[in-house]
Amino acid sequence: MTLRDVAEAAGVSEMTVSRVLRSRGDVSAQTRERVFAAARKLGYVPNKIAGALASNRVNLVGVVIPSLSNMVFPDVLAGIGEVLDETPLQPVIGTSKYDDDLEEKVIYEMLSWRPSGLIVAGLEHSDAARAMMANAGIPVVEVMDVDGDPVAACVGISHLEAGRQMAREIAARGYRKIGYCGSSSIKDHRAQKRRQGFEQGLAEAGLSLTDACLYAGTSGFGTGRGMTAEILGRTPDLDFLYYNSDINAAGGLLYCLEKGMDIPGRIGLAGFNSFEVLDGLPMRIATMDSQRHDIGRRAAELIAANALTNEVVTLAPVFLPGDTVR
């Protein structure tokens, strides 16, 4: 299918078809509609590689995230999409599986297509990945986290502050024997920062963690149940459990309810992320809204502005008490 086929079907010149499809030049609305109708009927898709060779840029925005199965990232992608839908730009998604070497490869492949922008989750990358992003010559935005050294622009929350804020809320409600349930992976940088901030917040209140239970692998109801059974079996007098994610906290909640525990009197629970999908549980879990959707929107706005910037946009995490704290 070629430009000539569309031109013949629409009864116009190839130059007119080119102007319409590229949104260039003065073409009447009636002619534009005729060209678009012919292109849709024929299933014509323009070859943008030729245009990219001339401009050294394609209307694609690379988005590199750790996982598509992690419930954190669909909200970020939705925010990005809402903004880019109003522009000629289209997001292209790549996943790193929390692996720095794989992330480096994905970034390399993304940049080799000369996209109009790049959005990458997190601040921790290989030296080569940082160098590629720093020298890309396009808007680059790191998202989700502001606790570190951004390569260029950055949009996110402070996970250290999110942890400290959770600790303050727990201490203010009178909980004193506190356990932590989270990931053992040092590559889960944001969760590790939240735990660090959480322990700092406890220390400021004159408290410390009584016990901790760590898991390897993925979050889930089963993971949360297993950690809760293990930590309460080992330290039964804990009166609060802080989980690295709402998904694990949901498993812990179901375990405690099954055992007939008084929540939030006998034991309190809290997670992180504020997943709406969990609103159907018997109790709403205390959590922290991580502003995922707004992070995606703000990052996409920086890309759409097509400005090279080192701006750091810090959004505030918001504590949501739910039903599982006093």
Query: Does the pLDDT value for residue 214 go beyond 90?
Result: yes
- How many domains are contained in the chain? 3
Query: Has residue 296 been placed in a domain?
Result: yes
Query: Has residue 324 been placed in a domain?
Result: no
Lowest-pLDDT range of 54-58, 66-70, 79-83, 190-194? 54-58
Q: Are residues 277 and 311 in the same domain?
A: no
Provide the pLDDT for residue 138. Answer: 93
- Residue 250 pLDDT class (50, 70, 90 cuts): very high
Q: Are residues 163 and 269 in the same domain?
A: yes
Q: Which of 141, 188, 138, 196 is nearest to 167 (CA)?
A: 196
Neighbours of 154 (CB within 10 A): 24
Q: Are residues 152 and 175 in the same domain?
A: no
Q: Phi and psi dihedrals of 135, rounded to 5?
A: -105, 15
Q: Are residues 39 and 130 in the same domain?
A: no
Which are the contacts of 42, defined by CB distance < 8 A and separation ≥ 6?
Answer: 1, 5, 6, 9
Query: Does the pLDDT value for residue 48 go beyond 80?
Result: no
CA–CA separation, 213 vs 233, rounded Å? 11
Query: Has residue 227 been placed in a domain?
Result: yes
CATH value at residue 105: 3.40.50.2300
Query: Has residue 321 been placed in a domain?
Result: no
Q: Which tens digit of pLDDT belongs to each residue from 99-129?
A: 999 999 999 999 988 899 999 999 999 999 9
Query: Has residue 130 been placed in a domain?
Result: yes
Q: Which tens digit of pLDDT belongs to each residue from 117-160?
A: 999 999 999 999 999 999 999 999 999 999 999 999 999 999 99
- Residue 175 pLDDT class (50, 70, 90 cuts): very high
Provide the pLDDT for residue 198. Answer: 98
CATH value at residue 36: 1.10.260.40
Q: Phi and psi dihedrals of 175, rounded to 5?
A: -80, 140
Q: Are residues 151 and 209 in the same domain?
A: no
CA–CA separation, 306 vs 140, rounded Å? 10
The model's pTM is 0.84
Lowest-pLDDT range of 41-50, 79-88, 266-275, 276-285? 41-50
The mean of the pLDDT values for the chain is 92
Query: Has residue 129 been placed in a domain?
Result: yes
> Where in the sequence is the domain holding 13, given as residue range(s)?
3-46
Provide the pLDDT for residue 40. Answer: 86
Query: Has residue 51 been placed in a domain?
Result: no
Comparison of pLDDT for 112 and 175, the residue scoring more: 175
Q: Are residues 283 and 174 in the same domain?
A: yes
Query: Does the pLDDT value for residue 53 go beyond 60?
Result: no
Please count the helices (runs of H) and the strands (runs of E) in the chain: 12, 12
Q: Are residues 175 and 216 in the same domain?
A: yes
Q: Are residues 113 and 259 in the same domain?
A: no
